[in-house]
Amino acid sequence: MANVTVIGAQWGDEGKGKVVDWLASRADLVVRFQGGHNAGHTLVVGNQTYKLSLLPSGLVRGKMGIIGNGVVVDPEALLAEIDRVRAQGLTVSPETLRIAENAILILPLHGAIDRAREAARGERKIGTTGRGIGPAYEDKVARRAIRVCDLAEPETLSMKLDELLLHHNTLLAGLGAETFEKQALLDQLLAYAPRILPFAEPVWERLDEARRAGKRILFEGAQAVMLDVDHGTYPFVTSSNTVAANAATGAGFAPSALGFVLGIAKAYCTRVGSGPFPSELHDEIGRRLGERGREFGTVTGRPRRCGWFDAALVRQAVKVGGIQGIVMTKIDILDGLDELKICVGYDINGTRFSHLPAAMQAQAAAKPIYETLPGWSGSTMGARSYAELPAEAIKYVRRIEELIEAPVTLLSTGPEREDTIMMRDPFEG
């Protein structure tokens, strides 16, 4: 049996949580490998709805969850999330959740810097969640970050806070924001220590042992390829690498053993926050997609921008993200539309492009080139096999497969776990 790595193939919010939850029934471990509590997964299980930001989705299935070293962890947000899902009946303990001892911590000053910078950008803001993700990753590469393992060493915490405050308080003062006192932060971190440290370990050892024992590992990405800090619509991106290759770095795992790479894509397209979105719709169809799809950010609650499926963008994500198969979600939201459009390329100042260029002005100028397909009058909601789908819905899926140069291996037809059509089992490789 192969391992499986799940990543987003658009701008996030594609329904990765449901897919990981569905796949986790046959996995032994589920691993988060990047991002922070700016990501959100909504899982609907019977009459319960779980909203997860840091916790791996596999915990809902009773599977071992691992937060890898590539994740930036806000201790307060993590503990609040644990308390919330425990109240819903989930078991979260050191027996079911492990956190990489070398994962980076997000402190309150990171969120303050994040929000102050966004305010200073004015109309040119990036659209961050203001939760300190970017500043925490900055501290990581600047080698001044506080890590989970530091919670066990008060002297190390004190020394690192001196360096952090020298840097961040200077920035906060320059931005006209309130600065932070060392003792208050130190006391806060020491208070977190006894609740966080029981979960900490060198998770790379556990993953290597699991690999040697032939256990099935599911790697769960956050955000999506087009928000990757290298390959996305920079600077309107997240602050980590979201492609499958980063699962190895962000978990401490062998790249050769990441297994089958699944990319998640909606049957249309959405985006939260600022940045280019060539196929965005500002008309009644765009509003209809948003309303029927309940398109609001899991973390922020912000309404998502909606548009037609962008095959050129997903094809790009397939190639740079290492995607071997696509899970198409929310096809039921397209039920009843008279016609559908697929973006197959871009017109940029009179020149046709088959991909979205890296330059900001070129991205902003990109106009979609559409191919039009007929819609369908029947329903796809809750279908469990292709035989239950309207013929035009099947044609729509097949055409997308041709355009993105990758097969649709799973098709999600509703929010429930079992509203899924599987053409190929990703755990079979």
Q: What is the pLDDT of residues 150-194, one digit of tens each?
A: 999 999 999 999 999 999 999 989 988 899 999 999 999 999 999
CB-count burial class (<10 Å; 0-12, 13-18, 19+) for 32 = buried
Closest CA to 373 of 349, 345, 409, 337: 337
How many CB atoms are located within 10 Å of the residue 52 CB?
A: 26
Is 60 exceeded by the pLDDT of residue 1?
no
Q: For the domain bounded by 4-101+200-260, which CATH number is listed? A: 3.40.440.10
- In this prediction, residue 202 carries a pLDDT of 98
Instruction: Name the pairing type of β-strands 4-8 and 72-73.
Output: unpaired
Is 80 exceeded by the pLDDT of residue 411?
yes
pTM equals 0.93
Q: How confident is the model at residue 82 (pLDDT cuts 50, 70, 90)?
A: very high
**Helix then strand then coil, % of the chain, to nearest 5:** 40, 20, 40
- What are residue 303's DSSP bridge partners? 296
- Candidates 3.90.170.10, 2.40.30.10, 3.40.50.720, 3.40.50.12780; correct CATH number of 265-428? 3.90.170.10
- In this prediction, residue 50 carries a pLDDT of 81
Q: What is the pLDDT of residues 126-150, one digit of tens each?
A: 777 788 899 999 999 999 999 999 9
Out of 246-260, 292-306, 342-356, 409-423, least confident range: 292-306
Per-residue CA distances from 294 to 213, 336, 423 (Å): 42, 17, 27
How many CB atoms are located within 10 Å of the residue 53 CB?
A: 20
Spatial separation of the C-alpha atoms in residues 313 and 315, rounded to whole Å: 5
- In this prediction, residue 81 carries a pLDDT of 94
Q: What is the pLDDT of the chain when averaged over all its residues?
A: 92
Render the burial of 164-202: b for 16+ CB within 10 Å, e for the rest. bbebbbebbeeeebeebeeeebeeebeebbeebbebbbe
List, by residue number, the catalytic residues: 13, 41
Q: What is the pLDDT of residues 278-307, one digit of tens each?
A: 999 999 999 999 999 988 766 666 789 999
- In this prediction, residue 57 carries a pLDDT of 83
Closest CA to 9 of 413, 331, 309, 412: 309
- In this prediction, residue 298 carries a pLDDT of 60
Q: How confident is the model at residue 417 (pLDDT cuts 50, 70, 90)?
A: confident
Spatial separation of the C-alpha atoms in residues 23 and 18, rounded to whole Å: 9
DSSP character for 355?
S
- In this prediction, residue 300 carries a pLDDT of 62
Q: What is the pLDDT of residues 18-76, one digit of tens each?
A: 788 788 888 999 999 999 987 767 777 777 788 888 999 888 888 999 999 999 999 99
Spatial separation of the C-alpha atoms in residues 108 and 136, rounded to whole Å: 10
The residue ranking higher by pLDDT, 415 or 240, is 240
- In this prediction, residue 123 carries a pLDDT of 77
Domain assignments of the chain as residue spans, ordered by start: 4-101+200-260, 104-196, 265-428
Q: Which fold has domain 104-196?
A: Adenylosuccinate Synthetase, subunit A; domain 2 (1.10.300)
Average pLDDT over residues 383-392: 92
Whether the CB-CB separation of 253 and 247 falls below 8 Å is answered with: yes
Give, rounded to a whole angstrom, the gap between the first and last alpha carbons of the chain: 7
